[in-house]
Structure 1
Amino acid sequence: MPDTTSVTTRSITIIGDSHIQAIKKALLDRTNAGAKPRISALRLTGKKQGDLTFDEAVAFAAQRGPEDILAVIRRGNFYNTLALIQHPQAFDLLEPGADAADLQEGAELVPHAVMKDFFTSTIQSGYVKMHRRLREASPAPVICLEVPPPKEDAEHIRRSAETFFVQNNIAEAGVTPAPIRLKLWKLQQSALAASCHELGIDYLPSPAGTRNERGFLRPEFYAPDATHANAAYGELVLRQLEAISRTPNAGLATVQEAIR
Structure 2
Amino acid sequence: MRLLQMQRLAGLNLIGKRQFVADYQMLLYGDSHSEAVFQAAELRERRRYPTSIAIHRARRQKGEKVIGDTSLEEFVEIARGLSSSDMVISMIGGNQHAVLATIQHPIPFDVLEPGADFSSLRPGTELIPYRAIASIIHGGIRGRDGRALSKIRDATPARMFHIIPPPPKRDSDFIRSYHESRFSEDIAKLGVSSPELRMKIWRMQRNLLHEYCDELGIEAFDPPQAALDQDGFLLPEYYAKDATHANRNYGLLLLQELEQRIVRSNESVQ
SS, match of residue 126 in structure 1: helix
SS, match of residue 76 in structure 1: coil
Mapped contact 2:8–2:25 kept (Cα < 8 A)? no
SS, match of residue 223 in structure 1: coil
Which is worse superposed, 174-183 or 40-49? 40-49
- The residue identity in structure 2 corresponding to 1:108 is E
Match of 2:214 in 1: 197
Which is worse superposed, 155-164 or 127-136? 127-136
Mapped contact 2:96–2:137 kept (Cα < 8 A)? no
Instruction: Count residues with an aligned counterpart.
Output: 250
Match of 1:153 in 2: 171
Supply the distance in 2 between the matched residues of 1:5 and 1:240 (Cα, whole angstroms). Answer: 22
Match of 1:256 in 2: none
Percent identity, aligned pairs only, is 36
> How far did residue 37 of structure 1 move?
2.4
Mapped contact 1:44–1:53 kept (Cα < 8 A)? yes
1:129 equivalenced with 2:144 (yes/no): no
> How far did residue 202 of structure 1 move?
0.6
RMSD: 2.0
Which deviations, in whole Å up to 9, do the C-alpha atoms of 1:174-200 show, x marking residues without a partner? 001011011111111111110110111
Supply the distance in 1 between the matched residues of 2:124 and 2:218 (Cα, whole angstroms). Answer: 41
- The residue identity in structure 2 corresponding to 1:156 is F
Where do 5+ consecutive residues of structure 2 fail to align? 11-22
Q: Taking structure 2 as the reference length, what is the TM-score of the superposition?
A: 0.86
Q: Which of the numbers 19, 36, 47 marks the counterpart of 1:33?
A: 47
Match of 1:45 in 2: 59
Match of 2:240 in 1: 223
> How far did residue 153 of structure 1 move?
0.2
Supply the distance in 1 between the matched residues of 2:57 and 2:196 (Cα, whole angstroms). Answer: 30
Which deviations, in whole Å up to 9, do the C-alpha atoms of 1:107-132 show, x marking residues without a partner? 11101122223322332233332111
SS, match of residue 226 in structure 2: coil
Mapped contact 2:44–2:51 kept (Cα < 8 A)? yes
Supply the distance in 1 between the matched residues of 2:155 and 2:119 (Cα, whole angstroms). Answer: 49
Mapped contact 2:164–2:222 kept (Cα < 8 A)? yes
> How far did residue 249 of structure 1 move?
5.7
Aligned residue runs from structure 1 range 5-20, under 5 A: 9-20=23-34
> How far did residue 6 of structure 1 move?
7.3
Mapped contact 2:9–2:52 kept (Cα < 8 A)? no
Q: Which of the numbers 245, 259, 262 marks the counterpart of 1:242?
A: 259
Mapped contact 2:27–2:87 kept (Cα < 8 A)? yes
Question: Which runs of at least 4 in structure 1 moved beyond 4 Å after TM superposition?
Answer: 1-8
> How far did residue 210 of structure 1 move?
1.3
Aligned residue runs from structure 1 range 1-260, under 5 A: 9-46=23-60, 47=62, 48=65, 49-166=67-184, 168-243=185-260, 244-248=262-266, 250=268
Mapped contact 2:41–2:50 kept (Cα < 8 A)? no
Residues 126 and 223 of structure 1, relative CA distance in 2, 3 Å threshold? same
Which is worse superposed, 194-203 or 96-105? 96-105
Supply the distance in 2 between the matched residues of 1:148 and 1:201 (Cα, whole angstroms). Answer: 18
- The residue identity in structure 1 corresponding to 2:131 is A
- The residue identity in structure 2 corresponding to 1:53 is S
Q: Taking structure 1 as the reference length, what is the TM-score of the superposition?
A: 0.89
Where do 5+ consecutive residues of structure 1 fail to align? 252-260
Which deviations, in whole Å up to 9, do the C-alpha atoms of 1:135-194 show, x marking residues without a partner? 11112111011110000000000000111111x331231001011011111111111110
Supply the distance in 2 between the matched residues of 1:115 and 1:15 (Cα, whole angstroms). Answer: 28
Mapped contact 2:83–2:158 kept (Cα < 8 A)? yes
Mapped contact 1:69–1:245 kept (Cα < 8 A)? no
